[in-house]
Structure 1
Amino acid sequence: MLAPSPGGPLFLGHDIYRNSTYGSRHPLAIPRVPSVIDLCRTLGWLPQSAYRTSPRARPAALQAFHTPAYVAALQAAEATQSVSDDIRQQHGLGTLSNPVYPEMFRRPATSAGGALLAAELVAHGGTVFHPAGGTHHGLPDRANGFCFLNDPVLAILALRRLGVDRVAYVDIDAHHCDGVAHAFAEVPEVLMVSTHEADRWPFTGTLSERLCGNALNLPLERSAGDGDAAMALDSLILPVVQAHRPGAIVLQCGSDAVAEDPLSRLEWTNAAHRRTVAALMGLGIPMLVTGGGGYNPWSVARCWSGIWAVISGREIPDRLDPSAQAVLRGLTWHRRAGQRPPEHWYTTLADPPGAPGILDSTRASVAALRAHLKAVI
């Protein structure tokens, strides 16, 4: 692969992710975006010419999807560091999942601002990696599932305002993208394809939820691995994206589908994520790639850095040099698995490909979706 040329893919980030946290015991207490930035810079993959600082979205821009009352409540909660019982019930703020913390408006508004900037770049033919994005659970008037705002929805709406009428949204997070489905259930110009763990929160995205022919859900059994991911990609995602003829693709790459993540029971390796990114890039369509879920600091850093390698045309070394290893050895995690991490979490970036086997349930679900497509197209 060739090194990126001037005007090539861009990486969006911001220091706010380095200096804020949802709270010490929250699943998102771990470092994520900063670890990816540090690792990619150490590897020489992230020159300043490829990096852009995310702007913070203004409240008016957020109201393209979120209600004015909700945006105001989120700002007020940050300012006062408190919420009333009424606000908690109405807007989902100040809960265990979406707690009050010092940057609870500025941080998600920065992720949203990055999505809006990315939409402008993609609308002009670019490819953008926005690892802080992918907050696909946010709803118009409430926080939901660790997501205060919904940056994928804001990006898709912006793309359409900028003249990209047809958009394909692909989501390989372990959790169903309920907020994105809520936004575009009645918009046939926006294709949505989601692979996620079956019977996992938010318990939406069942196989039978086929809305207007443009929302395709492929729930996977908890033991699904790389073979299942490959079948989903080759037999469903790529054919339907090509048939949709989008002017842009938004790909949500939550790393929580990786086997060692604590909040899912899928058994992907990060090779499945890189293969998905590479295959969709191969279509030659402008693309925004976001992060998403991911609650093991080593699997997040290794997975998303590998995604940037694919996007930017970098070769992943078989073994990391000492300076790159130092970034990974500097990570900590309060869970038991973080007390004695396996050595390869420090020394490698790419997992070896997983087992190629495919579950019977995956074959049956893909066949059902393909039959559905024949009936509606």
Structure 2
Amino acid sequence: MHTSPPPSDATTESGPPPVPLGALVPLTRPGWTEAGRHLLAGLELGVEEVNAAGGIGGRPLELLVRDTAADPGRAEAAVEELAGLGVAAVAGEYHSVVARAAAVRAEALGVPFLCSSAVLDALTEEPAAWVARLAPAQSHGWRSYAGFLLAAGHRRIAVARQASLYWEAGTRVLRDHLGQRGGTVTELDADALTPRELCDALAEDGATALLLLAGTPQPAVPLVRAVRADRRLDGVLIGAPAGQPEFPGWLAALGADGSGVPFLRYLPERPGPQAVRVGEALRTRLGEEPSFVACEGWDTVAVLAEALRTYGTGRADVVRAWEGGAVAGTRGEIRFSRVAGTGVRQWVWPPVQVADRDPAEPGRFRVLHQG
């Protein structure tokens, strides 16, 4: 369990009672812990800034953090626990399948859940009254990525895919978008094939781009090393639409081999003053360049804090706020709408980029495409 401390000028003994918020974050394996750390940094920074500005009507926000470890069952149990603790809302989560389990449980319990970072289109099967999302639907972002591939001249694509609802959905988006424009997608089983066997299959297929629809560091890192070392595959673009190359662990594991791998991230072309300020604070907090996931965390708290200030601290008040006006986030004005196929209130849309690490300077990012 992780609980954010109260602000320095308020204590649970002498001050007003806090407004509790639940947070779901992957902090241990097999969760993507780098993403979880960035998401938590954004959430915690947002809470600290709200409290420094007087909290919610003089009441501090308190963040009750639960580690999901990429386990849907743990997420469901955490939502139930947090609901019992009286949180005004639950926020966070990075992994799509985990977020989906949390959303379904929150809807059943009547607890607001603001999903920060998961993108699976159908976050709930039926229209939800208690769930909203900041991250774009997977089909929106991955169509932009497919458009980038086509613009770069890639029409014969291979995907190294693990078994997962998220990876399957991404493959379907790519196949549909590319197929309508004369492209093809070949699936290679990243669970069954060794890196060498996958290289053999890729060379035989003749694809000009290989997309890693697989976890990191395993099996993505050894796959990149194998493709880079195989002279038959010189000139084959390696891509990672799910964003693996953005985090420092990718660079630490692969060095120069990890550069030139295009990935999706949800940042504007030019950051505004608030984004610059928050980015500097996150950089100090993390000790490294903050990812868009950290911005998603900060934006989550901004949305919830505005709802609590304006509409009240009841759970129904939070949901009512999502139908109201806009909130200024780090990446633009956040306003929720209903989008067919998602089941939830959705920010339409966060900015979408395709970026990579510069081969000439792998610690620097290049923006290749703005969606």
The answer to whether the superposition gives a TM-score over 0.5 is no
Normalising to structure 1: TM-score of the pair? 0.30
Normalising to structure 2: TM-score of the pair? 0.31
Larger strand percent: 2
